[in-house]
Structures are given as structure tokens and as C-alpha cells.
Structure 1
Amino acid sequence: MKLSSLTAPGFSGLLRWLRRPQCLAVALVLAGGLAAQARADDEMFDFEVLQYKAKLLAAKPYEVRPVRVPEHLLAPAFTYDEHRDIRFRPEMAWWRREKLPFQLQFFHPGFIYNKTVQLSEVDGRAATSIDFNKRLFDYGKNGLKGGVPHDMGFSGFRVHYALNNPNYLDELVVFQGASYFRALCAKAVYGLSARGLAIDTAEPTGEEFPIFEEFWIEKPAADAKSLTAYALLDSPSVAGAYRFIITPGDDTVMQVKLALYLRKPVKVLGVAPLTSMFWHGEGSSDHYGDFRPEVHDSDGLLLAHGSGEWLWRPLTNPTVIRSAAFADVNPRGFGLLQRDRDFSHYEDLEASYQKRPSTWVEPVGNWGRGAIRLIEIPTPDETNDNIVAFWQPETLPAVGEPLVLEYRLHWNMDQIKPPSGATLATRIGHSKTHEPELTRFVVDFDSPYLRVRGGDFPAEAIVSVGEGAKLEHQSIQKNTANGSWRVAFALRPDGSGRPVELRCFIRRAPHVLTETWSYRWNP
């Protein structure tokens, strides 16, 4: 077994490291156990060591790492059901014998998972490889006549923690596939995913998917409340170092630090990307014959602009790829949210869409100028992730120079809310009997302040309509059934077929009482 990490004397900064002698390579091989027990007093692994490794990697031409998974374990020879029959043995969980608060379980390669990653444990000052072993898995009914290579590696890993019950370790976070990962908060089920990086998403030239090639996970203390993991990212255009400090709870928070190095210029670099699914919702014109009223992991994009404005963009399943850019300077946050928590709006006993978490990106420090991008891709069903949101910096560093950013990823149910009123629902349609040529929009807003105001409260609806349509009439009304406020307006398209940008909010001058509802309408 081998020490599969860059090790170097400690240092406080990259410049200091560059003035030091070359790193001493240490490789010790010890027998016994599932992990090598290599140790050396002068070894150290930390984020700066990993950042230096990423810098060296980016200075070299990109090399595709060899596939170590044999063909007989991959599709189509190896089926989904066969791969699903391979299960990790819970009694073999990493750190289980030591009864640590966090434990690791590993994913077996196969089927569509043809890439493997190198995993290492960081204990004190030493980084030690976690080697693949068949004894970690129950292969079920699989005969596996072709055998399983002893050095194949894992396709990813998951972290377990007593999230909902002190006597049971729930799944907390999963890292598997390219640079994808997803996490849970208390009382949630898996929904949307995050990624390390998005490159040229929805561009005509095609998207590039960077890969987390190696992971290092710090061994937690017996009373640890957080777990720290590191990842090395690589792709034809970029190499990067990542650190994740994961703190579980009602609001599971991942403190992320990244350092990226470009190998070559890219057109679109998406930082802190989120990926979700939206098939249909209350504002959809087509429900595809599905018995469920709504099917989505997220129902909107929420933005907290650096200027102080909060904006809500309901998600759609468009007929063609749609891309929107919300320019900003030093954004306060953005995220894909699942606001609707009413089971009757989904009626799905298995998927439990009402329990899917929201994910919020909170920048740490000033991110400068750029734009929050929203990509909406057509999907014929719920099996495809068709929504992507990310931050695109206005300027990128030169090739070989670092882009260093930090942010917090919040995974929660309802903790992220604007300071004023929020959008409850968006509905779009026509009247069969009165002005059927007009398209009608009905937007419901709610807040504790508005809910206790009576119907005679002098609230004002501010509706803005971009080029391509004319606002014919609008109204605002108290909904006495639930206390919310409804803004209704009707539009007449100009016949050009151009997409029309719409905005709406409620105010009582000079005070803005709700977030800004934003929508792109295709007449």
C-alpha cells in the first residue's frame, strides 16, 4: 500500500514554499489492515500543499487518467440492477470501530461509474491512502466471473452522521461522479446537487466536466462537530484545490475554499454551481399527463444582490435552452430553493419532493464584478437535472495565476428568506370568456407584515414589462383565505415573438414590502 498524496514541510504561504527545498518523497509500505500505515515526522498535508499540487498539475498538459474498471463491470455488460446489488457493508464503515461521530462508506465502481478516485485519510500530520478491498462489499447475487481488480479504487464516498437520531448514523453528504456532491440537513431527503466547477455550460462548443480525482478526509476527534475534506480537481482547462468543512444540522453548512489555475482560457467559468430538476409546477402550461400536480427538486432561484435587492425567479421547463444573467457586484448570496413544502402539491409518496432541501451560496469576502447565471434546459421527464445556477466572474486570472475564493453552502429546508415578503406562487393562463387574447399572470406574495394587514391597506403593485408586450391592466388584492396578497396583471404581446422580461413587487411608498418577482415570458 502506498502514501497517495503530496507531502511537504509546513509553510504559511505559497511564496514561502517556493523558497524552500524540494519536497522529500516518502513511501512506506506496511502489511495488515485495510489502509497503509505510512508515517513520517516531517510530513504534512494541508490546503496550501494541495494548492501547490494543483499549480504544478495545471502547468503540465492534461492527461486523462487510465480507467481501472474492467469492461465486464461496465454498461451494457453490467446492468443497473447488478450494480445496485453491490452494497457496502455497514459494519466495515471507516472509523466505526473507533465510534467516531463521522463515518465513511465507499462506492463500488461499475455500470456507468467508470472513473475511480483516490481516497486518503489525514490523521494528525500524516496522509494515508485508503485502499480498495473486496471485503468492504456485499456482492449479492453477482457471480462476477471476470473478477474484481484488487487495485481498482472507489467511485466515490459518503459521510454518515447522527443527523436526525442520536442512535443512528444518517447519510450526510455524498461525493460521486465528476465534481458532483450533495448533502442533507435534518429531516430532508436528497434533491439537488452542487458541483466543484462548471465550464462552458450550455455553450455551443459543449460543456467540460472537471473531475475530483483525489480526496483527503481528516480523521475527526471523538467530540467533533465538523468534518474536513479536501479534493484535487482536474480537467483539460483547469486544475484546482478544494477544502470542505462540513457542519451538519438543521442548516448543514459546508465552508468551501477553492484555488483554481487555468491551463487555457475558458469562455464560461461557473463558480459554486448548483444543479437541480424542474419538470412541471403550478405555473406550467403542460403537466405531461402526469397525475402529480408538481414535480421538481427546486422551484426558484433566489438572489440577494450586493445592492440590497432580493429577487425571485420561478423555474421553468422551457421548450429550448434558456440562459439568463443577473449582473452584480459583490453578491450577498444566491441559491436554488424548494419553497413549496405542501405534500398535496406533489402527491408523491416515494419521491417526497416536499422534503427536498434548498441550497444557498453565501460568498465569503468580496467577489467583485460578475453575474449569477441561470441555465434552464428542456427535459421530457423527471430523470434529468435540467437547471444550473452559478457565479460567473467578469474577469479571470491569467493562465497559471490563482483564483482563490471562499463561500458557504447552506443545505436547509426554510432558513433562507428575504427580509421582506416572499413569492408564494406564480400562475399563468388565459380567460376563456373575457379578453382571451391576453395572457394573465397571477403572483401571490406573503410576509408576516402583510398577513396582518387588512384589505384596505394601501399596498401598491409595481409591475414592469419589457419590450415585446404591453401591460393592459393590473390589480392587487388581499387573499382573505390565507392572508397573502395577490397581484394580477394581463399582457398583450406585440406579435414579434421576442422574450419579455417581467418584474413585480409590492410597496407602500417609500418602503418596499416584498422581494422582486422576475420572469422571462415567451409569448
Structure 2
Amino acid sequence: MDRRDFLTSSLASAMAFAFAGRVAAADEPAAAPAGDQPFGFAVLKDEARALAQKPWAEPTGRVPARFADLSFEQYREIRWKRDLFLWRNDKRGFALEPLPAGSVYKLAVEVYLVDGGHALPISFDRDRFDWGNTTPPEDGVVLPFSGVKLHRPTDGDRWPEFAVFQGASYFKATVRDLRYGLTARGLAVDTASPDGEEFPTFTRFYVEKPEENANSIRLYALLESKSLTGAYRITLRQGEETGTDVELTLFPRVDLGHIGLGALNSMFLYGPIGRVRQDDIRPAVHLSDGLAIKTGAGERLWRPLANPSTLQISAFGDENPLGFGLAQRARDFSDFQDLENRWELHPSAWVEPVGDWGKGSVVLVEIPSESQIHENIVAYWRPAGKIPAGQEFSAAYRLHWQASRLTPAELAWVSDSREGRGSSDARRRFALDFVGTLPQAAELRPQVTASAGKILAPIVVPNPATGGVRLGFELDPGNAPLVELRVQLTDGTRPVSETWLYRWVAA
């Protein structure tokens, strides 16, 4: 993982977490967690349930002052020694690296090892860390943990990381031969709300000792915030993709009117559609370029992302969705021309609900941004209605981190979306490239609709460069401040492509 990739997530998270002021810096030792204790998912649920019945208490974990004040570069030099990763030499298929608190990660969390139905806390030992140019803590001073990293062996004696849980309820994973990219959250609460967003935090991690030569690793997490508590069981597998099975139960202290399940955060600065003009040699800068949805009725939707001039919130109503995710469909170096960040090497993430999620909507939040360090894209499932205080809420989903473009196998899909000036200054020209299984261009019937304004001159022509077709059309928005566009290719009787959606917003 290169420097800019790490800062992209960490700096954006540091601005969003809003917990830095909640943890007092102190040079006295932090309180040690309790000793060996019985543990299981039911035990964690019981504890979360009991906590929810008590008033919210501010976190009490303390980070020694000089570590709280470290720059991020200084913090990055402090690492658990690689040869001391837990289970590295036990042939268990996974290794665990506890992460220190400090710098932007000021909230102390507890980390436990689970073995045989019992949980034992990991104690701080300064000799287990490489400190770089930072002086280790003095005798008796404890530097708390802030999260965990998971490692998987490869050829030779390499143990590259593939997943990290750190900061609020954020976590991310990568795929072999790719880099870290977009991030996930255990829960989103009141995202983009006028009253402000709440950021629940994983305050404890319980990592289960894997079986010998295991193909999966499981951890549990306690979620806490002012409005709720939660118990999570998360199972990770790494193969051609990295799979994350998430099971959760929430315990609301108050009525919850706006939560986000399967929440994903990403970055879209600019691309060939809705481009923010920048003096930059790179043709595109983004971790993801679109939102993919498979509705409960089986329709496949593709919504290219934008970096708008004002906050934009889109809600795609549905019942029992089959999946949604943020994809990186641009997969060639030429799409980005960025030798440092290699945006084409970042994964897509697909959320697959387990069981029926009922009525609600996939929500897409697009936040204006002028820098690639900000995660300005959020997508999640918002259940309809409220969850009353005191009523437990459970859900489960599989999160697939993939190198794929999240495309439908049975339909043609949009490989590129482009926008520019039309035949007059008042009009906008769109060009959509469809690839996949398609009839001849002459047999295709474009279905192009707009919520306002007029659609002009839609035409489908072969694209020999892609082996597919290109659909071109113009939009005359008139005086409309925004226009919702919808495009689908049919053969005259049935759809042969995914449905392309886009919100055009007047500058």
C-alpha cells in the first residue's frame, strides 16, 4: 500500500470521525481490560443489550499525550514487529497485527484473542513494536490499541495484509494483486443529515484463533454510539475475491429513523462524465466510478458517479434488494495515467443481502470535493420506517471485495459514459459504450427518457474499438436545474442491457 493510498483513507476518516476531542490525552497508564472470560456471540449480544439500557457514556480510553500529538508520518513508523505477528508461525493460514493508537487514531479500543470459548485480552508490550524515530513509552505507560490488521501468507515468507479494522466502524479489504481502495462501515447513522452525522465506533475486537491451515478467520466487534449499541460477527475469506460475511444485531437507545446497512465510502474526483475541469495531466481520478444495483425484481442498474457542485442525495426505492455496490469499471492504466496511485488497481465492493431486507432504498450520497484525499461518495441500504428504541434489529450480508467491474453476465453493460457540449451551448451531448452480448446495432432500440427537458437524436452505432455499440444522444434541459436520465437498450421486445441512470445538474 503506497503513501497516498493510505492517506486517502486515513485523512478523510480523520475529518469525518469527529471523535478526536472525545479522548483525553494523558501520560498515566490506561486501564487494562479484564482477564480471561467466557465468550461467544451470544455473550457479546448480552453485553451490547445491557449497555444499551444504560445512558451513553463518553469513551474513557486514554492515549499518552505525545503519541496523540504525533504527525501521521511519525505514527506510520510505529509497527508491531512482523516476526511477532500473532499465529504467524502456527500454520493457521492467517496472522494478526494489533494496531497502536496515536495521531489521528485517538480512540482506544480493546483487542481480545478468542480460543476455546474464552477471550483473553492482548496486553501492551513495547518490546513487540518497532518505534521508528519515536521514543518508546516510559516504563508503566501503556499505549492502547486502535484496531487490527489481518495478514495472509503468500509464496515464500511474505505475509501481506489484506484487511484492516481501524477508526470508528470503518474497515477495508483488498484482493490479491490489487491495492486498498474504498472502505466499508459497520453502520452509517444520519448520513448527510442537516443535524449532523453520528459515527458509531467499534470499541472492542475479539479475534478468534483460526483452525490449522484455515481458509477463514472470524472476529467479533462491539459497536457503541450515543444512539445505539451493536454486536457484530464478521467472517473473512480470501481467494479470488475477499469475502466478508457480516452478521449484526443493533440495540437502539432512541428511535432510529435513518441507518445505513452495508455502507461503502469511496472517492470520485473527476472522470469522462460530469468532469470537474482541473489543470491535471490525468484524464480521471477516482476509486470507484459507479453504483451498481440488482433490484429485488432482478433489474440491473448502473449509475455513474459525479463530483457535484452541491450535495446530491439519490434514493433508489426497492424491496428485498438482491445486491448493490460501488465499482471501478475503468481498469486500464490509460484511463488514469497515474503512476503513483494506479487507480485501476483498486477493488470493487458488492453487498449481497442475506435474507429479506424488506422495503427501503439504496442511497447514494455525492459530496462536492476538490481533493482526492476526501472520500466524497457514500452508498448504503436505508430500511424504510423507524426502528423503535428498545427493539432489537438484526441483519446479515456478504460483502464481496473483487477485481471485477460488477457487471451483469446475462446483459450488455456500460463500459464508458461520456458527457460534453452538445450542438449548442445549452445542450449536453452523451455517449454511452455498451459491451457484452448484443444483437446487431440495427436491431437495437434505445429507450432514452428524461424527467425534464428534451432528448434529441438518440442513435446506436457499432463501436469497432470495443466490439460493442455506442449510444449517442443530446439533452436540452431547458430551465430545469436537474434532470434524471434513464437509458436502456432493447431488441424491440425485451431489455438486452442494464439500465443506465444519471442525474444531470446545471452548473
TM-score, with structure 2 as normaliser: 0.90
Give the superposition deviation at 1:319: 0.8
Change in CA separation of 1:200 and 1:485 when aligned onto 2, cut-off 3 Å: same
Once the two structures are overlaid, the 10-residue window that deviates more, 231-240 or 45-54, is 45-54
Q: Distance in 1 between matches of 2:293 and 2:33?
A: 46
How far apart are 1:474 and its partner, in Å? 1.1
Report how far residue 444 of structure 1 moved: 1.2
Paired position in structure 1 for 2:478: 494
1:441 matched residue in structure 2: 430
2:110 — aligned with what? Answer: 118
Return closer, same or farther for 1:251/1:60 CA change in 2, 3 Å cut-off.
same
Residue 401 of structure 1 deviates from its aligned partner by: 1.4
1:161 paired with 2:161, answer no
- Preserved contact between residue 132 and residue 150 of structure 1 (Cα < 8 Å): no
Quote how far apart the aligned CAs of 1:359 are. 0.4
Q: Secondary structure at the match of 1:512?
A: coil
The residue type equivalent to 1:98 in the other structure is D
2:454 paired residue number: 470
236, 253, 257: which one pairs with 2:226?
Answer: 236
Deviation of 1:37 (Å): 11
Alignment of 1:384-403 (within 5 A): 384-403=374-393
Per the TM alignment, residue 172 of structure 1 is displaced from its structure 2 partner at its CA by 1.3
What's the secondary structure of 1:473's corresponding residue? strand
Once residues 237 and 492 of structure 1 are traced to their aligned partners in structure 2, the CA distance between those partners, rounded to angstroms, is 46
Choose the corresponding residue for 1:420, options 368, 386, 411: 411
Q: Bigger relative contact order, structure 1 or 2, given CA contacts below 8 A and separation 6+?
A: 2
Shift of 1:214: 0.3
Q: Indicate if the aligned counterparts of 2:167 and 2:201 stay in contact, CA closer than 8 A.
A: yes
Counting only pairs closer than 5 Å after superposition, residues 263-412 of structure 1 correspond to structure 2 as 263-412=253-402
- Name which of structure 1's ranges 213-222 and 347-356 shifts more when overlaid on structure 2: 347-356
Residue type matched to 2:489 in 1?
I
**Compared with structure 1, are the counterparts of its residues 320 and 518 closer, same or farther at alpha carbon in structure 2 (3 Å cutoff)?**
same
Contact kept, 8 Å, 1:374 with 1:390, in 2: the verdict is yes
Q: Secondary structure at the match of 2:145?
A: coil
Q: Distance in 2 between matches of 1:183 and 1:300?
A: 19
Alignment deviations for residues 71-104 of structure 1 (CA, whole Å, 9 cap, x no partner): 22223xx222221222221011111232321101
Instruction: From 495, 503, 507, give the equivalent of 2:490.
Output: 507
| Distance in 1 of aligned mates of 2:480 and 2:398 | 43
Deviation at 1:454, TM superposition (A): 4.2
- Separation of aligned partners in 2, 1:314 and 1:454: 25
TM-aligned CA deviation for residue 492 of structure 1: 1.2
Whether the 8 Å contact between 1:131 and 1:151 is mirrored in structure 2 is no
| Residue 481 (structure 1) shift | 2.2
Q: Does 1:130 align with 2:122?
A: yes
Task: State the alpha-carbon separation in 2 of the partners of residues 522 and 367 from structure 1.
Answer: 31
Distance 2:398 2:480 in 1: 43
- Looking at structure 2, the residues matched to 107 and 95 of structure 1 have their Cα atoms a distance apart, in angstroms, of 16
- Aligned equivalents of 1:440, 1:147: Cα separation in 2: 65
**Highest Rg: 1 or 2?**
1
Conservation of the 8 A alpha-carbon contact between 1:446 and 1:484 = yes
Cα distance, 1:167 vs structure 2: 4.3
Question: Are 2:352 and 2:397, in contact at CA under 8 Å, matched by a contact in 1?
Answer: yes
CA distance in 2 between counterparts of 1:250 and 1:55 reads 37
Picking from 62, 73, 83, the partner of 1:68 is 62
Letter in 2 for 1:465: A
With over 3 angstroms needed to count, the CA separation of the structure-2 counterparts of 1:179 and 1:148, relative to structure 1, is: farther
Residue 102 of structure 1 contacts residue 159 of structure 1 at CA under 8 Å; is this kept in 2? yes
The one-letter amino acid paired with 2:434 is: F
Matched AA of 1:290: D
- Contact persistence 2:276–2:307 (CA under 8 A): no
Q: Please give the residue correspondences for 1:25-104 in structure 2 after superposition, counting only pairs within 5 Å.
A: 44-75=38-69, 78-104=70-96
Q: Is the 8 A contact 2:428 2:474 kept in 1?
A: yes
* 1:218-239 deviation line (CA, Å, top 9, x unaligned): 1011121000000000000010
- Distance in 2 (alpha carbons) for counterparts of 1:235 and 1:61: 11
SS of 1:232 mapped into structure 2: strand
1:59-80 deviation line (CA, Å, top 9, x unaligned): 11111111410222223xx222
State the shift of 1:215 in Å: 0.6
1:168 aligned counterpart, secondary structure: coil
How many residue pairs are counted as aligned between the two chains? 474
Per-residue CA deviation, residues 420-454 of structure 1 (Å, 9 max, x unaligned), is: 111111111114xx43432111111111x22xx54
Q: Any unmatched runs of 5+ in structure 2?
A: 1-31
Note the C-alpha offset of 1:38.
5.9
Q: Distance in 2 between matches of 1:225 and 1:85?
A: 31
Q: 1:56 to 1:276 in 2, by over 3 A?
A: same
2:180 to 174, 190, 193: 190
Q: Letter of the aligned partner of 2:485 in structure 1?
A: L
Paired amino acid for 1:346: F
Q: Relative to 1, partners in 2 of residues 1:220 and 1:333: Cα closer, same or farther, differing over 3 Å?
A: same
CA–CA separation in structure 1 for the residues paired with 2:198 and 2:92: 38
The reply on whether 1:484 has 2:468 as its aligned counterpart is: yes
Question: What is the percent sequence identity of the aligned residues?
Answer: 39
Structure 2 CA distance for aligned equivalents of residues 165 and 236 of structure 1: 45
- Cα distance in 2, alignment partners of residues 348 and 270 from structure 1: 33
Aligned CA-pair RMSD: 1.8
Moved more, 185-194 or 78-87: 78-87
User: Residue 32 of structure 1 corresponds to which residue in structure 2?
Assistant: none
The answer on whether the counterparts of 1:283 and 1:428 sit within 8 Å (CA) in structure 2 is yes
- 2-structure distance, mates of 1:381, 1:429: 22
Deviations 1:463-519 (A, max 9, x none): 01102x11122111111222121111111122142x111000111022211100000
The alpha-carbon distance between structure 1 residues 106 and 38, as it changes in their structure 2 partners (threshold 3 A), is closer
Per mean C-alpha deviation after superposition, the further-off stretch among 501-510 and 90-99 is 90-99
Query: Contact 2:435–2:466 (CA<8 Å) still a contact in 1?
Result: no
1:52 aligned counterpart, secondary structure: helix
Q: CA deviation at 1:216?
A: 0.4
Structure 1 segments of 4+ aligned residues over 4 angstroms from their partners: 35-39
Please give the secondary structure, in 1, of the residue aligned with 2:66.
helix
Q: Residue 442 of structure 1 aligns to which amino acid in structure 2?
A: A
1:144-159 map, 5 Å: 147=138, 150-159=141-150
Q: 3-state DSSP class of the match of 1:155?
A: strand
